[in-house]
Structure 1
Amino acid sequence: MASVREAALARRSWPEVTDAAPGDDELRDLLEAAGRVADHASLAPWRVIAVRGDARARVGRALAAAAGAEGAAAEKLAAKPLRAPLLLAIVACTRPHPKVPEWEQDAAAAGVAHLLSLLLDEAGWGVMWRTGPLTRHPLVADAHHLAPGEHLLGWLYVGGRPERVRPERRVGPDVAQRFSSLA
């Protein structure tokens, strides 16, 4: 078993995946671990929606409508969710709390998404976190049946890893430029 550090260093985004995808039981098992992120007041301010089959096309149509796209541009935008057999919509479920501001609840939901992407990667799945300017559009929210106080953070596109394609290892940021210390 790899260490957490090894798993983080090995993680890559997989922009192309095969039609294989994890089932709901495997996803629930991985979410049990991902849901253990730091979460002030144990609010669990997140949920994950598995988007499969025709639901991906409905999300694509919502993206095209939200963009006001027509013709070929609408078709191209509507096809984006079809690039993977499974989209995991990451939803932040924020609510008023005297000690936990909304941004902190969003951070907990984003932590679940990141940890879930690491766990999926470690389990052998190809994963890529996708967002964009339409992520929080009301038509896109409606396509996901989001409730008041919920907003989409993006999607984990998940599928099998193709044998012939292996993404290059991404060079990490220059830590010396991003770390400082106060005494």
Structure 2
Amino acid sequence: MSIYETLSHIQVELKAPKNLYNSFGKYKYRNAESILEAAKPLCAKHGCTMTVSDEVILIGSRYYIKATATVQDKDGNAASTTALAREDETKKGMDGAQITGTASSYARKYALNGLFCIDDTKDPDSDEYHNQTTAEPQRDTNAAAARLAARAECQRAVKSYCQKNNADEADAWKLISETIGKPSKDFTAEDWKQGQQIAEAWK
């Protein structure tokens, strides 16, 4: 049996449930760890090993994390897929390890998606998911209030940092948005809380 036939069996048998839950958006989602947890027993069952690796590459003037997900059989035959995620241009407010780790997690998830033919078009970081969810009117007033409160606290933290350090607020918001991975207009309450933590961690 070729490695691609073996991989096809794993793809058919793989069940990677969306076992994580966003309480504000009321949706379930999966991350790279969810996929790995589901795939490891199947790889063992079919006599394969699975690896996920990263490398930093320079494209133009920007650094990217290139993640490679590989399944290899006992004869050394392998099948791989890759995915890219861009590192932030600046490291203001976060050290290099944190910036790289965020990009690595994103790239690894989508490399695994490609390897195992997992469709994440309705996950929270896809346009389709965004269009479907934002088309619905906001009905939960408590959740909306929590989002507004979290936004206010995040704005306070950013303004406080910028005033103390003579920093530009536009640059601060750009960094927070790029770190979280979405524009601030799409932030959930949890995103605003994360933004607050990022701002309060700046020195």
- RCO greater where, 1 or 2, for CA within 8 Å and sep 6 or more? 1
TM-score normalised by length of structure 1: 0.25
From the CA coordinates, give the structure whose radius of gyration is larger. Answer: 2
TM-score normalised by length of structure 2: 0.24
